[in-house]
Amino acid sequence: MCDPPHVKFNRGAYTEKIVVKNPVVELDGDEMTRIIWKKIREELILPYVQLDIKYYDLGLEYRDATNDQVTIDSAEAILKYNVGIKCATITPDEARVQEFNLKQMWKSPNGTIRNILGGTVFREPIILQRIPRPVPGWKNPIVIGRHAFGDQYRSTDFVAPGPGTLKLVYTPADGSAPTSLQVYDFKGKGVAMSMYNTDESITGFAHSSFKMALSKKLPLFLSTKNTILKKYDGRFKDIFQEIYDAEYKKAFEEAGIYYEHRLIDDMVAQVIKSSGGFVWACKNYDGDVQSDILAQGFGSLGMMTSELITPDGKTVESEAAHGTVTRHYREYQKGRETSTNPVASIFAWTRGLLHRAKLDENDALRAFCQDLEAACVETIDEDGIMTKDLALAIHGKDMKREHWVVTDVYMDTVNDKLKKKMAARAKA
């Protein structure tokens, strides 16, 4: 764990800070989001909240210096303290290896953390009334859960160089007879792939999904293609149904919500026609693709929260659903003005702190998070003060410089609004 770079900061401190009795784990990141992250922490969080932060620097240079051990350490700390709040990070490709003179092409920190924590990644749009939606019928949030384990992402693929027979062989660990399945007789060149999942992981996915639906008080849909993949996708369908009937049906009925399985093609059509207002549990690939469709359908890829939730619901890691905004960082390095949308990064802090508030039964912290989120939205929706990406979504080719502000101006406006909300709450 690194020493936090902000321990001596007290500028603009609020007179009566909200005391948080248990720590949170902060995971710092890269490029433009790292710059914004520091401003959020020091101007929108620490002046109002007395917080024990376990700080880990996941900037690419430090990951390289520690041979990526810092990523593993941060994930283990999240498991210990149950709340992780993460800045966007670079996943290096060959160009980044050269740019940073890295020892090797390190794996995605998100993937490493996910493998240690387990759980499901849930993404939810931050809804703005002022921003036009490409799917105008979506009036209510759609929370999408991606089962981020197995399937194509841990598959073994193969190029068949010519004619031959492809077989799938399963050899039991107990020494009993193996099972051999003939897959295909190639008449010429081709490709093949083998993939897998586990009952343990699917079960965890189910529990996370049911818990999310209950917490949001929204119906839950699972989508698969079990009519074609009768055994593979059928396993997802069966496990979800068994767990729902045994453990969640009564709670769902009491909450006035329900669970259904849908074929993925039918589900996609229903999503487009719907007004929103549900949780959508997707297999790995479906969730990867559909989460970006949902984000854009609600108006902006930069207005999406992302939370990794463990099956027991006790541990949450929150982050923005976007990248490190490299293009803006290059402008920032040249001393030019930048207008980077900080909302999803602010919500990464609030969603992590909301989970801390839930675990600690801290009503004051919960109220602070709600006030900060409301200040972000109202600054855009009511005051019309926003960053360039949102102004472009509204005005398109007619956008002018007067339609948007730089990041600092937006965040300072949010802070002023937050102070007023906090003062009003203190008087109440």
Q: For residue 303, is it within any domain?
A: no
The verdict on whether residue 101 carries a ligand-binding annotation is no
The verdict on whether residue 146 carries a ligand-binding annotation is yes
Last residue of a domain, one of 298, 332, 367: 298
The total domain count for the chain is 3
Separation between Cα atoms, residue 272 and residue 296, nearest integer Å: 12
User: Are residues 327 and 420 both part of a single domain?
Assistant: yes
The verdict on whether residue 90 carries a ligand-binding annotation is yes
The verdict on whether residue 91 carries a ligand-binding annotation is yes
The verdict on whether residue 113 carries a ligand-binding annotation is yes
Helix, strand, or coil (residue 324): coil
Separation between Cα atoms, residue 266 and residue 225, nearest integer Å: 10
The verdict on whether residue 340 carries a ligand-binding annotation is no
User: Are residues 161 and 268 both part of a single domain?
Assistant: no
CB within 8 Å of 400: residues ≥ 6 apart: none
Q: For residue 8, is it within any domain?
A: no
- pTM, rounded to two decimals: 0.88
User: Are residues 145 and 257 both part of a single domain?
Assistant: yes
The verdict on whether residue 33 carries a ligand-binding annotation is no
Q: Which domain holds residue 191?
A: 154-196
422, 425, 426, 428 alpha-carbon torsion, rounded to 10°: 160
The verdict on whether residue 89 carries a ligand-binding annotation is yes
Last residue of a domain, one of 269, 298, 327: 298
Please report, in tens digits, the pLDDT of each residue of the chain (428 residues total). 554 444 333 344 456 899 999 999 999 999 999 999 999 999 999 999 999 999 999 999 999 999 999 999 999 999 999 999 999 999 999 999 999 999 999 998 998 998 899 889 999 999 999 999 999 999 999 999 999 888 988 889 999 999 999 999 999 999 999 999 999 999 999 999 999 999 999 999 999 999 999 999 999 999 999 999 999 999 999 999 999 999 999 999 999 999 999 999 999 999 999 999 999 999 999 998 999 899 889 988 789 999 999 988 899 999 998 899 999 999 999 999 999 999 999 999 999 999 999 999 999 999 999 999 999 999 999 999 999 999 999 999 999 999 999 999 999 999 999 999 999 988 87
Buried b / exposed e over 188-212, threshold 16 CB at 10 Å, is: eeeeeeeeebeeebbebbbbbbbbb
The verdict on whether residue 110 carries a ligand-binding annotation is yes
Q: For residue 234, is it within any domain?
A: yes
The verdict on whether residue 275 carries a ligand-binding annotation is no
Amino acid in position 170: Y
Separation between Cα atoms, residue 8 and residue 209, nearest integer Å: 40
The verdict on whether residue 109 carries a ligand-binding annotation is yes
In DSSP terms, which residues pair with 125 in a beta bridge? 304
The verdict on whether residue 288 carries a ligand-binding annotation is yes
The verdict on whether residue 265 carries a ligand-binding annotation is yes
Tell me the CATH number at 54: 3.40.718.10
